[in-house]
Amino acid sequence: MASHLVPSVQEMVAASGGDVVPPRYLRPEVTSDPVAGDTKAAIPVIDFQRLLDPDASHVELARFHGACQDWGFFQLINQSVPDGVAQAMMEVTEDFFRLPAETKKQFAQEPGQLDGCGHLFVVSEQQKLDWSDVLYLNTQPPERRNMKFWPDSPANLRVTLDKYTAAVKNVAECLLAIMAKNLAIQPEAIAEKCIDGIQTVRMNYYPPCAQADKVIGLSPHSDAGLLTLVLQVNEVQGLQIMRDGKWVPVSPIQGALIVNLGDTFEIFTNGRYMSVEHRVVVDPQKERLSIAVFHNPSMDAMIGPLKEIATCEKDQVYMTVDHASFRRLYFSAKLEGKNFLEGMKLKISSSSS
């Protein structure tokens, strides 16, 4: 992993105004993909308060089930992260990326580690790169926090990140419990695998690029974990999800969290709920910022189809591996759509009994 050797995109843009795109960032193969012009194909909007309301939740529960099953992506409105906490989180994220390059370098990723400031998923010297800078941190359980990479500037970043991720964790845990209900399994079937679950955060900074149609902000991928909750920091659009062979742009609703299901959820449910491929495109004039919080099972959980869902071994579509191996495999692969998950599928042999 040589990501620490790659200069930040922000520095490059500062030097050239984003006019000169180094060859390592040019991605002709991704720019020709069709984008859906039909904005009616908007991702579902789910009302968190209605989900929690015992009287009014019937319709919302069914809509939520549909969103998980048919889309794997939805916007969550009326969610419970206090406005002030979300606002503070957006501010520290902007303030961090505005710091001088020299200051940010103090928190640069180190070889073989994901935590810190840099690029994600750099696995070879030849590999093409995404047009973004990231700050990636482990937030839960507390013993996984590597404070060396938690910036102490801006001064309130640490305390804000702590509060924000705690609030987001609550939302994620509520959603997981309701998803279990919708799947007609006991909430404990999932919750037990998530005691001391791993939570990480990725703050993304996508600088503008004069040749925006020749670069990609974040390569097509599906997320590794159970649930990802994304807060978009400013009004600049960029996130797109793959649906029926086309990229569908997401227009975030102010105050909403954009939620998506990851590969682990697809495996747990043996494919009943699916992770969905998504990517981020870059704006020619404006920077874009987002904060993604990833929720995963505990480190000691096995990753495989839940026995409550795939009762017989022969029904299992995915293999079962320990969590450490699962994460090692995911993070050592280049981001390439859902290829990683394809590799987790068991080969169905007609002779098996």
- Binding residues for ligand OGA, per CB under 6 A? 202, 204, 218, 223, 230, 239, 278, 280, 290, 292
Report what 202 binds from ligand OGA, Ni ion, none; CB cut-off 5-8 Å by kind: ligand OGA
Q: Which of 47, 60, 130, 223 binds Ni ion (CB under 5 A)?
A: 223
**Sign of the alpha-carbon dihedral angle for 243, 244, 245, 247:** negative
Task: Compare residues 269 and 275 and give the one whose CB is closer to ligand OGA.
Answer: 275
Report what 230 binds from ligand OGA, Ni ion, none; CB cut-off 5-8 Å by kind: ligand OGA
Least Å from the CB of residue 161 to ligand OGA: 16
Least Å from the CB of residue 220 to ligand OGA: 10
Report what 239 binds from ligand OGA, Ni ion, none; CB cut-off 5-8 Å by kind: ligand OGA
Task: Compare residues 46 and 218 and give the one whose CB is closer to ligand OGA.
Answer: 218
Report what 290 binds from ligand OGA, Ni ion, none; CB cut-off 5-8 Å by kind: ligand OGA
Please, are residues 48 and 78 in contact by the beta-carbon 8 Å criterion?
A: yes
Task: Compare residues 133 and 223 and give the one whose CB is closer to Ni ion.
Answer: 223
Strands ordered across the beta sheet of 239-243: 218-221, 278-280, 239-243, 246-249
Report what 204 binds from Ni ion, ligand OGA, none; CB cut-off 5-8 Å by kind: ligand OGA
Residue with tokens 């889309």: 71
Q: How far is CA 22 from CA 31, 63, 103, in A?
A: 16, 45, 24
Least Å from the CB of residue 223 to Ni ion: 4
Q: Among 278, 333, 327, 324, which Cα is nearest to 122's?
A: 333
Least Å from the CB of residue 9 to Ni ion: 18
Does residue number 277 form part of the binding site for Ni ion (CB under 5 A)? no
Query: What is the distance, to the nearest Å, from the Cα of residue 231 to the centroid of all Cα atoms in its chain?
Result: 10
Report what 243 binds from ligand OGA, Ni ion, none; CB cut-off 5-8 Å by kind: none
What is the number of other CB atoms lying within 10 angstroms of the CB of residue 83? 8
Q: What angle do CA 258, 262, 268 make, to 5 degrees?
A: 135
Least Å from the CB of residue 172 to ligand OGA: 15
State how beta strands 218-221 and 197-206 pair: unpaired
Within the chain, how many helices (H) and strands (E) appear? Answer: 11, 14
Least Å from the CB of residue 228 to Ni ion: 6
Report what 341 binds from ligand OGA, Ni ion, none; CB cut-off 5-8 Å by kind: none
Task: Compare residues 50 and 338 and give the one whose CB is closer to Ni ion.
Answer: 338
Least Å from the CB of residue 79 to Ni ion: 19
Least Å from the CB of residue 239 to ligand OGA: 4
Report what 280 binds from ligand OGA, Ni ion, none; CB cut-off 5-8 Å by kind: ligand OGA
CA atoms within 13 A on the CB side of 44: 20
| Size of residue set near Ni ion by CB under 5 A | 1
Task: Compare residues 291 and 303 and give the one whose CB is closer to Ni ion.
Answer: 291
How far is it, in rounded angstroms, from Cα 117 to Cα 150?
Answer: 9
Please, are residues 262 and 294 in contact by the beta-carbon 8 Å criterion?
A: yes
Q: Among 315, 246, 186, which Cα is nearest to 32's?
A: 246
> Looking at the DSSP assignment, which residues form a beta bridge with residue 43?
none
Q: Which residues bind Ni ion (CB under 5 A)?
A: 223
